[in-house]
Amino acid sequence: MNKLGFRTVVTALLIILSGYFLFPTFEWYRMSDDEKAKAEQAKDPIIGKTLNLGLDLRGGTHLLLEVDASKLNEKVAIKDAVARAVEIIRNRIDQFGVAEPLIAKQGDRWIVVQLPGIKDPKRAKELIGKTALLEFCLVSTDTDALNKIQAKMSEKKLSGAAQASSDPEIAKLIPEGYFIADSKENGRVYLLKKATLTGAYLVNAKVELASGGFGFPHVSLEFNQEGGMLFADITGANIDRNLAIVLDGVVQSAPVIRSKIPDGRAIIEGNFNSEDAKLLATVLRAGALPAPVNIIEERTVGPSLGDDSIKKGFSSALIGVAVVLLFMFIYYGFSGLIADFALCLNFFILMGVMSYFQFTLTLPGIAGIALTLAMAVDANVLILERIREELNLGKTSRVAVDAGYDKAFVTIFDSNLTTLIAAVFLFQFGTGPVKGFAVTLTIGLCISMFTAIVVTKLIYDFLFKENFINKIKL
Amino acid sequence: MQFFKTPNIDFVGKRYIAFTISIILLALGILGLTVKGPSYGIDFSGGILMQFSFNKDVQLDVVRQGLSSQKNLDFELQSTGKQGIIVRVKKTDKSQEEMASEISSVLQSKLADTQITTDRVEYVGPAVGKHLSKQAMYAFSFVFMGIIVYVAFRFKSALWGIVGVLALIHDVFVTFGVMVLTDRQIDLTLVAALLTIVGYSINNTIVLFDRIRENLRLIAKQSFASVINVSINQVLGRTIITSLTVAMVSFIILVLGGEVISDFGLALFIGNAIGLFSSVCVCAPLTYEWEKRKRDRFKKNNSLKK
């Protein structure tokens, strides 16, 4: 620790490394909006290297989803279902086109989804939340049973298939192997045979404009070989019956089978607008979720509030730090300047570390930086006050500086470590923006131990050695 | 420059004044919690928060009237300047979609010729609210335990660790009380602020304990009371300066940081001041009381034996 050369090398290395890691961020902010858009399209490697801004600063949506275990097929373990759901949601989001999404499992049955910078959070929620279980079900020809069910429903004033199925009297009327489902058009319910052909057999789904007609878009489906064979069998054996296309328990349409369909292709019609059709095709391509998911937490920040937060956050942090720097200079004079230099270095290295580890900078995180710097002063204050005491005892400047650093070290170590305990548990248990605060607090504290003790001592040693100063006034 | 030469204040002698102030502060906190009751933000209570901004000035009352006419909508309104509002709805049986669309449609019908932008939507389901409350409790328990263990280990006395943590609980409780009394939402950001206060306040206490430990070795001949007094006075300058820099930054965050983090700045500002008071005036005298009683008991036992 005492060799001047070694400490200089370590310090220089840290500065250079921080500059290197921060360079992409500088480049990024120097680009114009057009250039940024281009870089994004070209998937320029710079994008993965810039400082990560949290959703509260760049705008976007954070969702926490819960997999509804009660509606899960009994044979499937919840763990596998969640893993599968994560995969499918990722597929859907990738096809939707969101830059840098985060999709991850949290706890036993929760899934975190973060979508930075999306403009239409409502549509995104539909995209993620749709179970997208597609079934092809034969419509029952037993009109007698259906009439009885509907009569009972209107008698009991039940609306919807879900309410009706849970009514014990109606449940008795439903034949074995059949179920009732709502239709997309209001009021009617269908009596349907349980499905053998589902969306699991799909290889593709895309939007097409109906030729003729009124140009309503429809979704065309393509089955894999096995599904195509099943489809051919079903259509071949049931000519002139209705085949219902059921999505998430709701009948979309129930066309009459005119002839056997051997090529494994089908079409979903409905009064879609083109956006709806696109969404449906996307979720069908990505596959069905193993069980429905519910949104249990949402945090959406619009881009204008994000911009506003960045401006206010940064300007208040900058002013705060500037005031502290000024205060240190006024109170301690030249020695205050050395402490100020250490603070600036602390900030620089902190940002470098954040870039390297891809930590996320949030609004509380910015506040955390300002606070960390205000607190990092403490180490220098402790040292300088110690040096002052030593000077008062009549020691020479050089001896007083050495003694000041020696005696203050234990105190700085103990006090920073206890603060670190608080910061680490805040990191452990914090979520979202609060976690961003804990990150800057923790890293800043660790760096301040280095900059405030090692770097400032290095400067004093250098100045004394080269005889630039020989006296310290405090 | 120096604000003052090392002062010579008799902190131990005046400890009962400090204790009285502490008790008044604690009573204030209890008053806040019992009479007023904390208003938990949606992070913990569950519910929905929506922040809107408009392209012209909007009367809060118009919005209030519109929302009041909705059934089963227990809401709170807060303005963010003339052209913005925050609507909070807690504890409803309605789904998120229902609440969000209800609030939006009321605004649209009441403010027909105003352009409305949704700046922020936060929805927290009841399960998540419980989860977050639990996390916050865990965080505090672990921090307090961690500090007791560390201080006990470094100062070879569990007593000092316990006194330190007692002072921290005091700081957190009083800050919490003030935030409740000033009608602030108790949410995750406040928890973060409180934990930061814990970190900074223990920092002050440790610096003081450290000096006492050093002085006990150096000037062992003097009485425990005077060692404590000398130590407090020696670190007083440093403690005030450091607290001052933190106070400056948190005050600027409070004033200029924008509505998302201004409460955070306020909590830090208050907590920092209370932390300064408790570290300097309460902690060491409390240690003194404790040590004195231990010694008295020790002496008594000894004299009985004779």
Question: Per-residue pLDDT tens for A376-433?
Answer: 888 999 999 889 888 888 888 888 999 999 989 988 988 888 888 888 888 888 877 7
Q: Report how far residue B301's alpha carbon sits from residue B306's, in angstroms, rounded to the nearest whole number.
A: 9
Q: Report how far residue A423's alpha carbon sits from residue A420's, in angstroms, rounded to the nearest whole number.
A: 5
Interface test with A, best of B6, B118, B119 (most A CBs within 10 A): B119
A vs B, Cβ pairs < 8 A, gives 213
The answer, for B66 touching chain A at a CB cutoff of 8 Å, is no
Task: Kindly determine whether residue A428 and residue B256, on different chains, have CB atoms separated by under 8 Å.
Answer: no
Q: Which residues of chain B have pLDDT under 70?
A: 1-5, 92, 220, 303-306
Q: What is the pLDDT of residue B271?
A: 95
Residues of chain B neighbouring A387 (CB-CB closer than 8 A): none
Which CA distances in Å does B258 have to A314, A322, A371, B162? Answer: 11, 19, 16, 38
Strand duo B116-124 + B84-90: pairing: unpaired
How far is the alpha carbon of B301 from chain A, nearest alpha carbon, in Å? 36
Q: Report how far residue B169's alpha carbon sits from residue B164's, in angstroms, rounded to the nearest whole number.
A: 9
Place of tokens 């290197």: A20
Q: Where are the domains of chain B?
A: 15-41+128-305, 47-124
The reported pTM is 0.83
φ/ψ (deg, to 5) at A139: -80, 135
Q: A48: which DSSP letter? A: G
Which CA distances in Å does A314 have to A263, A349, A368, B262? Answer: 61, 17, 11, 13
Q: Which residues of chain A have pLDDT under 70?
A: 1-3, 43, 185-187, 210-215
Q: Report how far residue A234's alpha carbon sits from residue A154's, in angstroms, rounded to the nearest whole number.
A: 33
Side chain identity, residue B269: F
Task: Kindly determine whether residue A411 and residue B248, on different chains, have CB atoms separated by under 8 Å.
Answer: no
Residues 6+ apart with CB under 8 A from A123: A275, A279
Task: Enter the tokens of residue A310.
Answer: 């960045």
Q: Report how far residue B67's alpha carbon sits from residue B110's, in angstroms, rounded to the nearest whole number.
A: 9
Residues of chain A neighbouring B188 (CB-CB closer than 8 A): 430-434
Q: Which among B121, B136, B238 has CB closest to A381?
A: B238
% of chain A with per-residue pLDDT over 70: 97
Task: Enter the tokens of residue A213.
Answer: 């007609």
Q: What is the pLDDT of residue B108?
A: 85
- Of 2.60.40.10, 3.40.640.10, 3.30.1360.200, 3.10.20.740, the CATH number of A60-140+175-293 is 3.30.1360.200
What is the assigned CATH class of domain A302-465? mainly alpha
Other Cβ atoms closer than 10 A to A203: 13
Interface test with B, best of A371, A382, A472 (most B CBs within 10 A): A371
Other Cβ atoms closer than 10 A to A161: 23
CA nearest to A312 within chain B? B257
Task: Enter the tokens of residue B34.
Answer: 């019992």
Rg (CA), chain B: 25
Q: Report how far residue B236's alpha carbon sits from residue A322's, in angstroms, rounded to the nearest whole number.
A: 24
Q: Report how far residue B201's alpha carbon sits from residue B164's, in angstroms, rounded to the nearest whole number.
A: 9
Q: What is the pLDDT of residue A1?
A: 45
Q: B11: which DSSP letter? A: T
Which CA distances in Å does A315 have to A53, A366, B109? Answer: 16, 10, 37
Burial class (CB in 10 A: 0-12, 13-18, 19+), B290: middle
Q: Which long-range contacts (CB under 8 A, 24 or more apart) does B77-80 make?
A: B80/B51, B80/B53, B80/B259
Q: Report how far residue A242's alpha carbon sits from residue A258's, in angstroms, rounded to the nearest whole number.
A: 9
How far is the alpha carbon of A421 from chain B, nearest alpha carbon, in Å? 6
Q: Which among A297, A377, A382 has CB closest to B123?
A: A297
Which CA distances in Å does A192 have to A179, A246, B155? Answer: 5, 10, 76
* Fold held by B15-41+128-305: Multidrug efflux transporter AcrB transmembrane fold (1.20.1640)
Task: Kindly determine whether residue B199 and residue A388, on different chains, have CB atoms separated by under 8 Å.
Answer: no
SS3 A263: coil
Closest among B188, B131, B139 to A422, alpha carbons compared: B139
Q: A256: which DSSP letter? A: B
Cα of first residue to Cα of last residue in chain A, in angstroms, is 26
Task: Enter the tokens of residue A368.
Answer: 């955390």
Q: How many residues does chain A have?
A: 474
* Whether the domain at A60-140+175-293 and the domain at A302-465 fall into the same CATH topology: no
Q: B7: which DSSP letter? A: -
Q: Which among A374, A417, A426 has CB closest to B150?
A: A417
SS percent in chain A: helix, strand, coil, step 5: 60, 15, 25
Q: What is the pLDDT of residue A418?
A: 87
Q: Report how far residue B147's alpha carbon sits from residue B276's, in angstroms, rounded to the nearest whole number.
A: 18
Strands (E), A210-355: 217-223, 243-247, 250-253, 265-268, 293-301
The answer, for B252 touching chain A at a CB cutoff of 8 Å, is yes
Q: Report how far residue B233's alpha carbon sits from residue B245's, in angstroms, rounded to the nearest whole number.
A: 19
Q: Report how far residue B44's alpha carbon sits from residue B126's, in angstroms, rounded to the nearest whole number.
A: 8
Closest among A356, A279, A360, A364 to A116, alpha carbons compared: A360
- ipTM, 2 decimals? 0.86
The architecture of the domain spanning B47-124 is: 2-Layer Sandwich (3.30)
Q: How far is CA B303 from the centre of its chain?
A: 46
Closest among A301, A314, A435, A453 to A377, alpha carbons compared: A453
Task: Kindly determine whether residue A300 and residue B125, on different chains, have CB atoms separated by under 8 Å.
Answer: no
Residues 6+ apart with CB under 8 A from A278: A207
Q: Where are the domains of chain A?
A: 60-140+175-293, 302-465
Task: Kindly determine whether residue A364 and residue B255, on different chains, have CB atoms separated by under 8 Å.
Answer: no
Q: A139: which DSSP letter? A: B
Task: Enter the tokens of residue B254.
Answer: 């409070």
Q: Report how far residue A360's alpha carbon sits from residue A57's, in angstroms, rounded to the nearest whole number.
A: 10
Considering chain B, what is the average pLDDT of its residues?
A: 87
Strand duo A178-183 + A250-253: pairing: parallel
Which CA distances in Å does A356 have to A13, A22, A352? Answer: 15, 8, 6
Containing B114, the helix (H) or strand (E) segment is: none
Q: Report how far residue A416's alpha carbon sits from residue A392's, in angstroms, rounded to the nearest whole number.
A: 27
